[in-house]
């Protein structure tokens, strides 16, 4: 890593508070782009996940590494005053509390922007700052359900990773970048209302448009994306593993059946009725007659769009994964965000005292403040 490299967000400071997974992912993207990120956490005496062992089950070091940790009790006037003082000298305040919490603390955007007119504020909530659901609690599975995504899964199932949260983090980072660009031309900051449900709703555009055109709901099996054809889906193999097929275009489908030794099925890709049912039986039979690795080897290099369904350990061993893996400056392995500009080094972040000193707090002030932390 060239220490003299110039990064996209050099000189930008982000103050984040109340962050859940979307906020953490957003912070990591901004960090990789070169921003300095200060992560406001609860006092050490008020730690813990949502249930026993949660923090151990879902470690987030890849996202929090390289950020500065500032522990403040925002319910105490000293902690809130310190937050306001630091916010005067940052570019972005990112927060993930429910609507109204920051206002009750006296830390909402309207209060902070008075002392920092160029400040960009972004709030990530489940359902947005306004509307009938603004105060409703939710998690990733709820946003996928209420946006219609789960109804298209066949059958509805747990996704395994938090797609809605990830989309919200990406959206937050994108909006912050846009607001920084606009500020460079106008000198003015902005407040951005980012709802987690917005991401999956935006990906439902084709389904919504189909509904408007035909006044009908499409469910499971209506299109190849929801299981209508065997050449797009997941199949069990002889060794109780799985392969995924995505042979949508006719050339890819022909390559697939040819490599399976079933060229007789070349003209059946879009068969209907009993013909489609027969194709399901034939292709499923071919998948179940071989091991996963036999199928992968047999289709290798042929553009058949056949992939092994990999375990976590297998993904980490895959050469294609290396582009997303890195290490911090202490040598600890981390997963990078999909920032494709040369990413900034992930260094050891400052602690509470270091952050306070950077923002001009005296030793006496720090000692007094640490009494509230």
Domain ranges for the chain, please list them. Answer: 13-202+323-370, 224-236+242-308
Find the length of the chain.
373
User: Count of alpha carbons within 13 Å of 314, Cβ hemisphere only?
Assistant: 7
Tokens standing for residue 319:
């050469």
Q: How much is the pLDDT for 144?
A: 95
What is the spatial distance between Cα 31 and Cα 92, in angstroms, rounded to a whole number?
Answer: 13
Q: Is 141 helix (H, G, I), strand (E, B) or coil?
A: helix
Tokens standing for residue 255:
């390559």
Q: Do domains 13-202+323-370 and 224-236+242-308 have the same CATH topology?
A: no
Tokens 């990120």 identify what position?
37
pLDDT tens per residue across all 373 residues of the chain: 455 679 999 999 999 999 999 999 999 999 999 999 999 998 876 655 567 777 788 899 999 999 999 999 999 999 999 999 999 999 999 999 999 999 999 999 999 999 999 999 999 999 999 999 999 999 999 999 999 999 998 777 888 999 999 999 999 999 999 999 999 999 999 999 999 999 999 999 999 999 999 999 998 899 999 999 999 999 999 999 999 999 999 999 999 999 999 999 999 999 999 999 999 999 999 999 999 999 999 999 999 999 999 999 999 999 999 999 999 999 999 999 999 999 999 999 999 999 999 999 999 999 988 875 5
Is 154 within 8 Å of 160 (Cβ atoms)?
Answer: no
CATH of 224-236+242-308, one of 3.30.70.60, 3.30.110.40, 3.30.1540.10, 3.30.110.70: 3.30.1540.10
Give the residue from 40, 37, 32, 61 showing the smallest Cα distance to 332.
61
Q: Name the DSSP letter for residue 48.
A: -
CATH superfamily of 13-202+323-370: Crotonobetainyl-coa:carnitine coa-transferase; domain 1 (3.40.50.10540)
Tokens 């603004």 identify what position?
134
Q: How much is the pLDDT for 1?
A: 44
Tokens standing for residue 364:
């006496």
Q: How much is the pLDDT for 371?
A: 79
What is the spatial distance between Cα 161 and Cα 140, in angstroms, rounded to a whole number?
Answer: 9
Is the pTM higher than 0.85?
Answer: yes
Q: How many helices (H) and strands (E) does the chain have?
A: 16, 11
Query: Measured between alpha carbons, how far is residue 178 from residues 116, 181, 190 in Å?
Result: 18, 5, 10
Is 352 within 8 Å of 69 (Cβ atoms)?
Answer: yes
Give the residue from 312, 293, 262 showing the smallest Cα distance to 247.
262
Q: How much is the pLDDT for 372?
A: 58
What is the spatial distance between Cα 94 and Cα 369, in angstroms, rounded to a whole number?
Answer: 22
């Amino acid at each position: 890593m060239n220490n003299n490299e110039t990064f996209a967000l050099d000189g930008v400071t982000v103050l984040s508070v109340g962050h859940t997974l979307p906020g953490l992912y957003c912070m990591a993207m901004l960090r990789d782009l070169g921003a300095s990120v200060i992560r406001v956490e609860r006092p050490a005496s008020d730690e813990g996940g949502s249930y026993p062992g949660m923090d151990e089950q879902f470690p987030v070091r890849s996202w929090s590494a390289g950020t500065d940790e500032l522990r403040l009790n925002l319910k105490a006037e000293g902690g809130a005053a310190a937050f306001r003082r630091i916010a005067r000298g940052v570019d972005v305040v990112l927060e993930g509390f429910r609507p109204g919490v920051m206002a009750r603390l006296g830390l909402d955007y309207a209060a902070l922007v008075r002392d920092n007119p160029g400040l960009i504020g972004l709030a990530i909530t489940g359902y947005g700052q306004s509307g009938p659901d603004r105060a409703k609690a939710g998690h990733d599975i709820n946003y996928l359900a209420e946006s219609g995504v789960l109804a298209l899964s066949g059958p509805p199932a747990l996704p395994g990773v938090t797609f809605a949260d990830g989309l919200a983090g990406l959206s937050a980072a994108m909006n912050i970048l846009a607001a920084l660009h606009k500020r460079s031309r106008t000198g003015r900051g902005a407040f951005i209302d980012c709802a987690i449900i917005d991401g999956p709703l935006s990906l439902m555009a084709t389904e919504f448009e189909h509904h408007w055109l035909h006044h009908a709901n499409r469910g499971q099996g209506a299109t190849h994306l929801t299981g209508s054809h065997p050449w797009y889906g997941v199949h069990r193999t002889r060794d109780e593993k799985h392969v995924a097929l995505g042979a949508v275009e006719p050339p890819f489908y022909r390559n697939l059946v040819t490599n399976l030794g079933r060229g007789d099925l070349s003209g059946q890709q879009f068969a209907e009725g009993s013909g489609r049912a027969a194709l399901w039986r034939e292709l499923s039979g071919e998948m179940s007659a071989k091991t996963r690795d036999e199928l992968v080897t047999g289709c290798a290099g042929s553009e058949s769009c056949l992939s092994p369904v990999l375990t976590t350990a297998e993904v980490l061993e895959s050469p294609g994964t290396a582009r997303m893996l890195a290490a911090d400056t202490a040598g600890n392995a981390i997963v990078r965000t999909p920032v494709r500009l040369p990413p900034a080094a992930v260094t050891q972040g400052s602690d509470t005292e270091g952050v306070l000193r950077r923002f001009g707090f005296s030793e006496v002030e720090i000692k007094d403040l640490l009494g509230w932390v």
